[in-house]
Structures are given as structure tokens and as C-alpha cells.
Amino acid sequence: MLNEKQIQCIEQIALGELTKEEIAKEIGITSRTIYNWQNNEEFRVELRQRSHVIQTAMEAEGKARMVAKGQIAIENIFKLANNAKQEKVKLDANIFIYEAIFGKATTRLQDITADENKKDKKVTTEQLLDEFKKFSVIKNDELEKAE
């Protein structure tokens, strides 16, 4: 069973804000004691669990902040798209909005090409020969014009 100082130590290590020396001084032990506790299986398990809980909470808080900031960023982009004094800034903002909604033009073309390849269109030998004949006629016409 972990004692109160071990629990305090685990919480401080999990938070990651202080060095082991600072933690030891704060809770009234030596840093060597912390290293000894870290060899204790129960201590390590509790430290992993607390670290996971704190990390999960920090990630959730970070995501919430990013969502809030993301809303502000989107509003700013819309303002630029409509109110910027420079036409290039307006254009870039509108392109960003368009691509965020519809994707980039190259991406759409690649998707279309990928869809066409999936149809397994097979070309017969006769179709290939007909295409070559068309090119031969064009080439012969060009040669006659050059003479």
C-alpha cells in the first residue's frame, strides 16, 4: 500500500512540472528515495495510471482549446475572403474555403482517373489499329503540306 508521500510524489511526477530533486524537496524526502520507489511495482503501476489520466485530461483540454481557436480562425478567413483590401488576399481566402469544402482540383482529377481505371475498359486490337491509322493520315497530310 502506498503512503501519502508516495502518492504526492506520483502526482508530481505525473504532472511533469518539477524535477525529481524539486519534488523530493517539496514533500520532504531525498531524491534517492524517489529512485528507490520507482523500483516498486505498485508505485510504477500507480504512476502509469495517474500519468494516463493526466495525459488524457490534458489532451481533451488541448482539443477543446483548438476547437475554440479553430472557430475564430474560420471566422477570420471568412472576413478576409469578404473584406480584405487586397484582391490577392481575398482570392487566397476564397480558394482556401473552396478547397476545404470541395477539395483541391488535382485531388478531384485523381479521383476521377481512379474511378475510370476501375471500370476495366478493354481496348481491342482493331480499336488500336484504327487509332494508329488516324495518326498516319494526319502525319501524311502534314508531309504533303510541307512539300
Q: Does the pTM exceed 0.85?
A: no
Tally of helices (H runs) and strands (E runs) in the chain? 7, 0
The amino acid at residue 145 is K
pLDDT in tens, 101-118: 888 877 555 555 555 555
Of 29-43, 81-95, 132-146, highest mean pLDDT: 29-43
pLDDT in tens, 18-48: 999 999 999 999 999 999 999 999 999 999 9
| pLDDT on residue 102 | 81
pLDDT in tens, 41-87: 999 999 999 999 999 999 999 999 888 888 888 899 999 999 999 99
| pLDDT on residue 22 | 97
* b/e map 80-108, b = 16+ CB within 10 Å: bbeeeeeeeeeeebbeeeeeeeeeeeeee
Res 138 pLDDT > 80: no
